[in-house]
Amino acid sequence: MTLITSPPPTSTPTPTEESRMPGTPASAPHLRLARPLEGRDGEILTPAAIAFLTELHDRFARRRHDRLAARERRRFEIGTGDDPHFRADTAHIRDDPSWRVAGAGPGLEDRRVEITGPTDPKMTINALNSGARVWLADQEDATSPTWRNVIGGQLSLFDAIRGQLSFTSPEGKRYEVTAERTPTIVMRPRGWHLPEKHVTFVDRTGRELPASGSLVDYGLYVFHNAHALVAAGRGPYFYLPKIESAEEARLWDDVFSFTEERLGLAHGTIRATVLIETLPAAFEMEEILFALRDHCAGLNAGRWDYIFSIIKTYRGRGARFVLPDRSEVTMTVPFMRAYTELLVRTCHKRGAYAIGGMSAFIPNRRRPEITEAAFEKVAADKRREAGDGFDGTWVAHPDLIPVARAEFDAVLGDRENQLDRSREDVCIEPRQLLDLRIGLPVTTAGVRANVSVAIRYIEAWLRGLGAVAIDDLMEDAATAEISRSQIWQWIHQDRETAEGTAITRPFVEGLLADVLAEVQRFDGERFDDAAEVFREVALRPEFPAFLTLPAYAKYLD
C-alpha cells in the first residue's frame, strides 16, 4: 500500500550567515547546540551520537514538517464540519484478514502491569525496583523538557541499562537498584509536534529549524543503548505518543528501518507500542498497525490525552460537543467504552497487544482512607479492563502494582495475554465514537478544580517537574491539557454552571485569583509565570494546540 502524502509546506525559515558554524559549508547539514557541555553531558552528546542525530534530521525533518502541516489541515476540516470517519482509501487494509503485526519482542511477552514515570535517577530506580513487568520510561508527558531533564534522563537510562545507576538525595538517602528482575524498559520520546529549542538543525540549503524533540529523544537513546538492550534480550522498545494518522506511523516505521540499517540491527528488532490518544487516530487503528507492522507490538488506550483531543477537536462545534466536569468523564461513559472496545478488537484481530490506560488515583500514605478509596477505584478500573480483553495496564505508583496485578491475574492466570479473545462481538460505528452526550452539568466546583489543577501543574512543570501529585491524583501534561481546554471551551460555548453562573473570562479570572491566594508560596516557585501561561492557553481567543508549546518557548530553561 502507498500511504497518502501531503504537499510540501509553502514557506520555510530563512537562515542568517551568522548562524552557520565557522568553516561549515551551507551544503553540509549539521546540528548546533545552544548550551555548552556540562558534567557528564559529553557521554551522551558524543560526536558520533550528534552525527547520528544529524542523519535523522537530514532524512526525516522535512517529512515531519509535512505531517504537522497535514494535522493542521485535518483539524481545520473537522472543526468546520467534516467529522472523522473510517477511511475509504484504506478499506482494503481493514478488509484483508491475512496480515499481522510483529507482536511482542523478547521481554515484552507479559505486560500485565506497566509502571509509568519520569527518568530522573530517583524515579528510574524506584521504577526498576517496583515489581512491574514493564517500565514506561517517560521523556514526554511525565517529564518537563528542561535541557537538564532531557540529557539527565538519557544519562539515567544509560546507567540503568548498564547496571551502574545509583542516587544519593540531598538529605543523604542512597537509592540503588536491588530487584532481582527489573522491568523491561519501553522509552517514550516526545511527540512529533514538540521541538527541542536547545538544538538547531541546519539543512543542506542553510535553512535553520529547531530540532525535533522526538528525534533527539529517540536518537540519543537508541544510538547509545540499542546493542546493550539487544544483548540483554529486552529491546530497544518505544512508546509512540500523539500519533494522528497512519502516515505519521509510517514516518516512525521508516525511522526505525533506517536506524536498524545504520546501527547494524536485524530488521524488526525495534518494537513500538502506539498510544491511541487522539481522536483522528481512533479512526485509523488498523492502518496505524499496518504502517508499523514489522515493528509493532501493540496499542495503548491513552485515555487522558484522548479526552483532551476530543475537546480540542470539537471545541468550536456547539453545545452537543461540550463535556461536563472532568471528574464525570469516566471510562464507563458510552463514547469512552466504544473507543476502548474498538481498540481491543482491532489489536487482537492483528496479533497486537492491547494495553489499558492509567488510572489517576494514587495512594496517600498519611491518610489511610484516601489510600483505601484509591485501591478500590483502581481495582474496579483494572477489573473492567481485564474483563474487556486488555492484555495489560498502566499504574503511576508502585503501591498500585499489586492491586492491578491481582485483577489481571484473575483473568490471565498463567497466560501471557488474551490475544485469543477476538472480541468479534464488538461492532463500533463512527457515531458511537462521536456521541459525547453524558447528561451532566458543569459545576462551579468543576470549573474551580480545573483552574486549580492547571495552575498548580503548570507551576510545577516550569520548575522542571512533569508528574505531580495534586489532591491525591497523579497529574501530568495530559490532565492539565484537559483542564485548560475545558475552560476555554466552556467560555467560548457560553456555558453556565449548574448553579446558574455564566462561565466567562472575568468569572475564571476571579477563580484564578482565589487559587493564587491559597497556594503555598516558597523559594523558587513560579506561580506568576504559571498564571501568564494559563491566561494564554485558556483565556485568550486563540487556542494553542498544546499548552506545552508556548510555555516551553517562553518560560522553560
Identify whether 474 is part of a domain: yes
pLDDT at position 521 is 87
Q: Per-residue pLDDT tens for 140-160?
A: 999 999 999 999 999 999 999
Rounded to whole angstroms, the Cα distance separating 276 from 279 reads: 8
In percent, how much of the chain has pLDDT > 70?
95
Looking at the structure, tell me whether residues 105 and 61 fall in a common domain.
Answer: yes
Identify whether 92 is part of a domain: yes
Looking at the structure, tell me whether residues 418 and 475 fall in a common domain.
Answer: no
Identify whether 166 is part of a domain: yes
Other beta carbons less than 10 A from residue 196's beta carbon: 23
Contacts of 6 (CB under 8 A, 6+ apart): 66, 67, 69, 70, 73, 247
Identify whether 6 is part of a domain: no
Looking at the structure, tell me whether residues 503 and 361 fall in a common domain.
Answer: no
Domain with 457, as residue range(s), is 444-555
Identify whether 28 is part of a domain: no
In percent, how much of the chain has pLDDT > 90?
91
User: Which residue reads 538519557 in cell numbers?
Assistant: 154
Other beta carbons less than 10 A from residue 33's beta carbon: 14
Q: Per-residue pLDDT tens for 49-62?
A: 999 999 999 999 99
Contacts of 68 (CB under 8 A, 6+ apart): 192, 193
Residue 399 a catalytic site member: no
pLDDT at position 25 is 53
Looking at the structure, tell me whether residues 450 and 425 fall in a common domain.
Answer: no
Looking at the structure, tell me whether residues 231 and 348 fall in a common domain.
Answer: yes
Looking at the structure, tell me whether residues 457 and 550 fall in a common domain.
Answer: yes
Lowest mean pLDDT among 23-27, 209-213, 231-235: 23-27
**Domain boundary residue among 378, 409, 433?**
433
Active-site hit among 203, 253, 388, 476: 476
Q: For the chain, how long is the longest CA-to-CA vector? A: 68
Looking at the structure, tell me whether residues 252 and 385 fall in a common domain.
Answer: yes
Identify whether 103 is part of a domain: yes
CA triple 492-310-475, angle to 5 deg: 95
User: Which residue reads 541546519 in cell numbers?
Assistant: 202
**Domain boundary residue among 412, 433, 454?**
433
Rounded to whole angstroms, the Cα distance separating 61 from 528 reads: 35
Cα-flanking dihedrals φ and ψ of residue 163, to 5°?
A: 70, 30
**Domain boundary residue among 372, 401, 433?**
433
pLDDT at position 19 is 36
Active-site hit among 64, 133, 188, 456: 188
Provide mean pLDDT across the span 29-36.
95
What would the DSSP string read from start to end of 162-226?
TT--EEE-TTS-EEE---SSPPEEEEEPPPTT-EEEEEEEE-TTS-EEEEEHHHHHHHHHHHHHH
Rounded to whole angstroms, the Cα distance separating 458 from 460 reads: 5
Confidence of residue 14 (pLDDT cuts 50, 70, 90): very low
What would the DSSP string read from start to end of 262-290?
HHTPPTT-SEEEEEE-SHHHHT-HHHHHH
**pLDDT exceeds cutoff 60 at 421:** yes
Q: Per-residue pLDDT tens for 248-294?
A: 999 999 999 999 999 999 999 999 999 999 999 999 999 999 999 99
Identify whether 13 is part of a domain: no
In the chain, the number of structural domains is 2
Looking at the structure, tell me whether residues 383 and 480 fall in a common domain.
Answer: no
Identify whether 34 is part of a domain: no
Q: Per-residue pLDDT tens for 525-536?
A: 999 999 999 999
- Domain CATH number, residue 473: 1.20.1220.12
Cα-flanking dihedrals φ and ψ of residue 496, to 5°?
A: -115, 155
Provide mean pLDDT across the span 187-215.
96
Dihedral over Cα of 216, 219, 222, 223: its sign: negative
Q: Per-residue pLDDT tens for 342-367?
A: 999 999 999 999 999 998 888 988 89
Contacts of 296 (CB under 8 A, 6+ apart): 101, 102, 103, 271, 272, 273, 274, 289, 352
- Domain CATH number, residue 371: 3.20.20.360
Residue 317 a catalytic site member: no
**pLDDT exceeds cutoff 70 at 124:** yes
Looking at the structure, tell me whether residues 265 and 132 fall in a common domain.
Answer: yes
Confidence of residue 22 (pLDDT cuts 50, 70, 90): very low
Looking at the structure, tell me whether residues 321 and 374 fall in a common domain.
Answer: yes
pLDDT at position 544 is 95
Looking at the structure, tell me whether residues 481 and 401 fall in a common domain.
Answer: no
Q: Per-residue pLDDT tens for 487-523?
A: 999 999 999 999 999 999 999 999 999 999 999 889 8
**pLDDT exceeds cutoff 60 at 6:** no
Average pLDDT, the chain: 93
Confidence of residue 26 (pLDDT cuts 50, 70, 90): low
Looking at the structure, tell me whether residues 176 and 210 fall in a common domain.
Answer: yes
